[in-house]
Amino acid sequence: MLFTLKYFIKPVSTALLMMAFTSHLANSAEHVEPAYPLTLAAAIDLAMRANPSIAVAKRELEAIEGVRTQAAVRPNPTISTSMQDTRSDTRQIYLQLNQEIEMGNKREARIEAADAFYQKALAALESRKAEVHANITNAFYEVLAAQERLKLSKSSLDTANLALDAAAKRVKAGKSAPVEETKSKIAEVGAKIEFNQATSQLNSVRKRLSALWGNPLPVFESAQGNVEEIPPVATSAELSALLENAPAISLAKLEISTRDGMTKIERSKATPNITLSAGVINNQELGGLNQALLGLTVPIPLFDRNQGNLQEAVSRQYKAQDELVALRAQLEANLATHYERLSASRQSAESLRSEILPSAQSAFDAASKGFSAGKFSFLDVLDAQRTLFQAKSQYIQALLDAHQAVAEIERILGNRVINPTQRTQE
């Protein structure tokens, strides 16, 4: 029979459950989402206190506490009575106390396994926190990027309105053909569509962020942070050295420990328990004489030596070891992938910021002035504006990719990539 938690966990009283639920409500009430601009540190704090998945992991940890308590409990004694013959003159009444004695270090094996389960639950909680931290960071910088895109689309819309006004005046003055005004209107409608899409995207990512602390309707007005500041990250070799202490690796190692504990439990079951008995016989046939009764019960492990369950436990222990090897290789590859993504995004953002954006802005300014002076056509202005808009959009996306790559590295390594103060200062 498999060693599972159900053998150890006892029902918790209704009063304790109500106390825990009331405590959860009180904690939720104490940590309310602010209406003012939200920082990354505040968002992480909210999620760590109110994220549903973290709450689930904490409840599991509480349950394992019960497992540890039950693991140390010894078998209860039993008392039995029987009567032989219903005639009062020959009646014999038996009263017997039985105590099962565990053999093969079963209790010690249970305690060791329960401790391993507790350590695994602790590691699972830390792993869940790392997951939530990465999800918050991803979502937070998505909000920052969406805010920048909204500003960009608003600027593009304002420029399109100015161009439409200028084109209308030129057409009215006879300096341009009516088709120029038509093109300006088309460009202005396109800018409106982009502005509406940016607004919708911002609303969506705000909801996705607030959902991480259990709020489907965000209260915060905006996210406060510098999306252009990409945090410094250690070298690839230094990050690889941290991998052995990653939450997923620690959890996999503790899974091996729990499987080892379960193997010891199944091995201990091969040694049968004995039962000691002591009692008294009241013999009416001998004039009500009380006679002592002593007994010893020893099962004979002739057929069932728990060999099947032991084989299963050993195989699952080997399986956990193989899974650790596979996980280590997978995380190493993922870490390298996200590090390369971070490096590429950082280089792209730097090139866009220092080279492409200034040139695109200069070209747009020149085209706008030339159009107002009648030196350039409106198509030149549209091309310059489209180039500038695309360059700024690429810059924002490169910054977002860099921040998300950092978040994914932190997800793997458990938020040990950069100095935490560098994040909270944003």
**pLDDT (tens digit per residue) in 377-401:** 767 777 888 899 899 999 999 999 9
Average pLDDT over the chain reads: 85
In a domain, 334, yes or no: yes
In a domain, 14, yes or no: no
Q: How confident is the model at residue 367 (pLDDT cuts 50, 70, 90)?
A: confident
Predicted local distance difference test score (pLDDT) of residue 176: 66
In a domain, 8, yes or no: no
For the residues 263-278, what does the mean pLDDT come to? 94
In a domain, 6, yes or no: no
Domain count for the chain, please give it. 1
Q: Distance between CA 272 and CA 323 in Å, rounded?
A: 33
Strand partners, 289: 283
Residue 34's domain comprises 23-424
In a domain, 5, yes or no: no
Reported as type and span, the H/E element at residue 186 is helix 178-210
For the residues 358-382, what does the mean pLDDT come to? 80
pTM (predicted TM-score): 0.79
pLDDT tens across 177-217, in order?
Answer: 777 778 778 888 888 999 999 999 999 999 999 999 988 88
In a domain, 406, yes or no: yes
Q: Contact 252/124 with Cβ under 8 angstroms?
A: no
pLDDT tens across 21-69, in order?
Answer: 444 434 443 457 877 789 999 999 999 999 999 999 999 999 999 999 9
| DSSP for 291-333, written as a single string | EEEEEEE----SS--SHHHHHHHHHHHHHHHHHHHHHHHHHHH
In a domain, 9, yes or no: no
Contacts of residue 158, Cβ cutoff 8 Å, sequence gap at least 6: none
Indicate the burial class of 326 (C-beta count within 10 angstroms; 0-12, 13-18, 19 or more): exposed
DSSP assigned state of 74: P
Q: What CATH number should be reported for the domain holding residue 166? A: 1.20.1600.10
In a domain, 150, yes or no: yes
Strand partners, 223: 38
